[in-house]
Amino acid sequence: MNTLTITQPDDWHLHLRTGSILKTVVVHSARQFKRAIVMPNLNPAISSITSALNYRNEILQALPKDSTFDPLMTLYLTNQTTVDDVKQVAACEFTYAFKLYPAGATTNSDAGVSDLIKIYPILEAMQQHHVPLLIHGEVTDETCDIFDRERIFIEKHLITLVKQFPELKIVLEHLTTKEAVQFVESSPANIGATITPQHLHFNRNAMLVGGIRPHYYCLPIIKREHHRLALVKAATSGNPKFFLGTDSAPHLSHLKENCCGCAGCYSAFAAIEFYTEIFEKEQALDKLEAFASFHGADFYGLARNKTTITLEKYNWQIPNSYGADDITIIPLKANESLSWKLK
Ligand code: NCD
Ligand code: ZN
Which residues, chain by chain, have CB under 5 Å from ion ligand 2? Answer: 247
Q: Is 41 in the pocket of ligand 1 (CB under 6 A)?
A: yes
Average pLDDT over residues 134-151: 96
Ligand 1 atom closest to Cα of residue 41? 4
Q: Which of 37, 107, 174, 196 to mutate to test the pocket of ligand 1 (most atoms within 8 A of CB)?
A: 107
Give Rg (Cα) of the chain.
Answer: 19
The dihedrals phi and psi of 313, each to the nearest 5 degrees, come to -75, 110
Q: Can 145 be counted among the known catalytic residues? A: no
CB 200 within 8 A of CB 225: no
- Mark 276-289 as b/e (b = at least 16 C-beta within 10 Å): bbbbbebebbebbb
List of long-range contacts for 157-163, beta carbons under 8 Å, 24+ apart: 157/116, 158/183, 159/183, 161/116, 161/123, 162/187, 162/188, 162/191
- Count of structural domains within the chain: 1
How do residues 153-175 score in pLDDT, each as one tens digit?
999 999 999 999 999 999 999 99
CB 16 within 8 A of CB 248: no
Distance CA 269, CA 249 (A): 11
**pLDDT classification of 111: cutoffs 50, 70, 90:** confident
CATH number of the domain where residue 283 is located = 3.20.20.140
Q: Which of 37, 39, 41, 146 to mutate to test the pocket of ligand 1 (most atoms within 8 A of CB)?
A: 41
How do residues 229-275 score in pLDDT, each as one tens digit?
999 999 999 999 999 999 999 999 999 999 999 999 999 999 999 99
Pairing assessment for the beta strands 308-317 and 3-7 based on DSSP bridges: antiparallel
CB 188 within 8 A of CB 195: no
What is the number of the ligand closest to the CA of 13?
2
Is the pLDDT at 118 greater than 80? The verdict is: yes
SS3 235: helix
**pLDDT classification of 85: cutoffs 50, 70, 90:** very high
What is the number of the ligand closest to the CA of 247?
2
User: 249 CA distance to ligand 2 centroid (A)?
Assistant: 7
Q: Is 248 in the pocket of ligand 1 (CB under 6 A)?
A: no
Q: Is 245 in the pocket of ligand 1 (CB under 6 A)?
A: no
Ligand 1 atom closest to Cα of residue 218? 7
First to last CA, the chain: 15
Helix axes 271-281, 19-32, angle to 10 degrees: 40
CB 333 within 8 A of CB 322: no
What is the number of the ligand closest to the CA of 16?
1
User: 220 CA distance to ligand 1 centroid (A)?
Assistant: 8
Q: Is 176 in the pocket of ligand 1 (CB under 6 A)?
A: no
Nearest CA to ligand 1 atom 11: 247
User: Which residue in 297, 317, 307 sits closest to 5, CA to CA?
Assistant: 307
How do residues 289-306 score in pLDDT, each as one tens digit?
999 999 999 999 999 999
The dihedrals phi and psi of 321, each to the nearest 5 degrees, come to -160, 165
User: 218 CA distance to ligand 2 centroid (A)?
Assistant: 9
User: How much of the chain is helix, strand and coil, in % rounded to 5?
Assistant: 40, 20, 45
Distance CA 263, CA 340 (A): 27
Catalytic, out of 110, 141, 247, 298: 247
Ligand 1 atom closest to Cα of residue 263? 7
**Could you tell me the pTM of the whole model?**
0.98
How do residues 2-15 score in pLDDT, each as one tens digit?
999 999 999 999 99
Residue 74: domain span: 3-342
Residue 107: its pLDDT value, please?
A: 77
Burial of residue 177, with CB atoms counted within 10 A of its CB: 0-12 exposed, 13-18 middle, 19 or more buried: buried
> What's the gap between Cα 191 and its chain centre?
15
Q: Is 136 in the pocket of ligand 1 (CB under 6 A)?
A: yes
